[in-house]
Amino acid sequence: MCLLAHCSLLGRWPRALIGYARVKPFMDVPAIRTEGLTRRFGELIAVEDVNLEVAPGQFFGFLGPNGAGKSTTIKMLTGLLAPTSGKMQILGLDFEQNPVDVKRQIGVVPEGMALFGRLTGAEYLNFVGRMYGLDRETAAKRAGELLEFMQLGDQPRKLVTDYSHGMQKKLALAAAVIHGPKILFLDEPFEGVDAIAAGTLKSMLQRMIARGATIFLTSHVLEIVERLCSHVAIIHKGRLVAQGSLEELRAGVEAQAASGNGDHLAPGSKLTLEEIFLHTVGGVRGAEQELSWLG
């Protein structure tokens, strides 16, 4: 049934995504693996001794409070930032030794989206495709399909700088997948995106997972992470404090609560990701504080 459903949808899907159907995940090596990953900025240790392991085909959520080190980690994993120490392997390849080979296999939507504002959407996608080594015809064809799929094709002369935030996010995601990457890194892909655009993005990401890609995303929207991700890691003050499937994390928090550490949990209730997150990072919600000048 599931296979049939996929087949019936193939006609509507950009070729860049259909390509995943042919991707055989490297089941023997992790998609992402870090060992003792550390990054210092002067005296400040932004990320310390992070050991991550993401299996191929996982939808992996990387969570943490503001300033915890999420963006620093994703920047290191995508080559935007050099680690101070530690190792990173992407699909079994050492990033520092094989940066170009690694970059060919990954797609990235960084924090700032990395767009070129004074190109049109079509020009931008075409450009990105060719930078990833696609031939001219393939780049143009995929650019057209992606514009259509993302519903960005109706204003061909509009420059990217004039796109709304949601449109820019969709374009950035389209650019990240145009070459058919095996791993997709997304830094806050749903930030500032309306419900319609978020729906398009989510369905696209789920299809990619179904076709064997690995997705590594950071997000503050825990409901979305809970719905999409099969595995989660939580970073706090630069250190990895939890990692595993949602069920494993839930079980861990419940075990902690049962042993008397942390808050008491309501019996019989299933912990949400937000509750797991708050338990793990020790956050407190809604401190009652008066601001004298506010009415």
Partner 1 sequence: MAGMSGLQARAQLQAIAQVRWEIFLHSLRTTKGTLELFSRILITAVMTAGGLGGAFGLGAGAWYFVSQGEPEFLAALLWPVFMFWQFFPVMATAFNETLDTSNLLRFPLNYRSYVLVRLVYGALDPATLLGSLWLTGVAIGVGIAQPRLFLWTVVVLAIFGLFNILLTQMVFAWVERWLAQRRTREIFAVIFFLFMISFQLIGPLMSRFRPRSASSMVRVSGEVNTVQRLLPPGLSAHSIASRANGRWGASLLSLAFVAGYGAVILRVLSVRLRAQYRGENLSEVTKDAFAKSGDNGVRVGWNVRGVSGPIMAVFEKEFHYLSRSGPMLLTFVTPIIMLVVFGFGQGRPGGGFLQRSPDLGFPIGAAYTLLLLTNLIYNNFGADGGGIQFFLVSPARFRQIVLGKNLTHIAVLVLEMAVVWIGVSLLFRRPSLAVTMATIAGMLFAAPLNLAVGNLMSLYSPKRIEFGTFGRQRASQLTVLISFGVQLVVFAFGATVFGLAKYYSDIWIAAGLFVILAAISITAYGLILGRVDALAQQRREVLSSELCKA
For 67, residues 6+ apart whose C-beta sits below 8 A from its C-beta are: none
Member of 28, 43, 154, 288 binding partner 1 (CB under 8 A): 154
The type of residue at 273 is L
50 binds partner 1 (CB under 8 A): no
Q: How far is the CB of 82 from partner 1 (least distance, A)?
A: 7
Member of 9, 67, 148, 247 binding partner 1 (CB under 8 A): 148
Where b means 16+ CB within 10 Å and e means fewer, 204-215 reads bbebbbbbbbbb
Task: Return the range that interacts with partner 1 (CB under 8 A); candidates 5-13, 123-131, 196-204, 263-271.
Answer: 123-131
Task: Return the range that interacts with partner 1 (CB under 8 A); candidates 23-31, 154-162, 221-229, 267-275.
Answer: 154-162
C-alpha 235/C-alpha 10 separation (Å) is 38
Member of 175, 198, 217, 271 binding partner 1 (CB under 8 A): 175
| Residue nearer to partner 1 on the CB measure, 142 or 250 | 142
- Output the DSSP codes for 247-274: HHHHHHHHHHHHTT-S----TTPPPPHH
110 binds partner 1 (CB under 8 A): yes
Q: How far is the CB of 45 from partner 1 (least distance, A)?
A: 16
E strand or H helix at 234: strand 231-236
Member of 119, 210, 221, 265 binding partner 1 (CB under 8 A): 119
Member of 28, 43, 137, 290 binding partner 1 (CB under 8 A): 137
Residue 141 near residue 126 (C-beta atoms within 8 A): no
Member of 99, 199, 282, 283 binding partner 1 (CB under 8 A): 99
Radius of gyration of the chain (CA): 20
The type of residue at 268 is G
127 binds partner 1 (CB under 8 A): yes
Closest CA to 178 of 122, 119, 217: 122
80 binds partner 1 (CB under 8 A): yes
- What is the torsional sign of CA 261, 264, 269, 273? negative
Structure tokens at 256: 């902690």
Q: How many residues bind partner 1 (CB under 8 A)?
A: 53
262 binds partner 1 (CB under 8 A): no
Q: Which of residues 155-174 bind partner 1 (CB under 8 A)?
A: 155-159, 161-162
| Residue nearer to partner 1 on the CB measure, 105 or 256 | 105
- Output the DSSP codes for 51-104: --EE-TT-EEEEE-STTSSHHHHHHHHHTSS--SEEEEEETTEETTT-HHHHHH
Q: How far is the CB of 15 from partner 1 (least distance, A)?
A: 13
92 binds partner 1 (CB under 8 A): no
C-alpha 174/C-alpha 170 separation (Å) is 6
C-alpha 183/C-alpha 93 separation (Å) is 13
144 binds partner 1 (CB under 8 A): yes
Task: Return the range that interacts with partner 1 (CB under 8 A); candidates 146-154, 207-215, 222-230, 263-271.
Answer: 146-154
Binding residues for partner 1, rule: CB under 8 A, are 78-82, 99-101, 103-104, 106, 108, 110, 112-123, 125-128, 130-137, 139-140, 143-144, 147-148, 153-159, 161-162, 175
